[in-house]
Amino acid sequence: MKKLLAIFAAGLLFTACNQTNQSEKAGVDVAAVKTIELHVTGMTCEGCENTVMKAVNQLEGVTESTASHVKELTVVSYDTTLTNTEAITAAIEKVGYTVEGPAMKQEPVE
């Protein structure tokens, strides 16, 4: 059992060490990276979140993305010289979800 766990741990370590940082993609201008928050509806589960992130990450210039069906929020960091909000919105809508615009910032209640 210990040997099996050791093999599993080594595999995880190898995988983690061999993943490339998205910001190291060829042609990305780190100084031009912007992060946007979009209000996305229609996501109902983690599978939906993964679908949205996969669609967005395929765009040239996207360096990172996250999605939350609970918060109806998708956060995308991208190189503004390679893509834009319209392309990101189109990619999300192409896979079946609705972008209702920028996420609204909630002010803290005093």
What confidence tens digit (pLDDT) does each residue in 34-80 have?
999 999 999 999 999 999 999 999 999 999 999 999 999 999 999 99
How much is the pTM? Answer: 0.71
What confidence tens digit (pLDDT) does each residue in 76-101 have?
999 999 999 999 999 999 999 999 98
Provide the 3-class DSSP secondary structure of residue 3. Answer: helix
**CA–centroid distance for 29 within its chain:** 18
Distance CA 94, CA 65 (A): 17
Distance from first CA to last CA of the chain, Å, rounded? 54
At 25 the pLDDT is: 60
- Residue 2: CB atoms within 10 Å: 6
Radius of gyration of the chain (CA): 17
At 90 the pLDDT is: 97
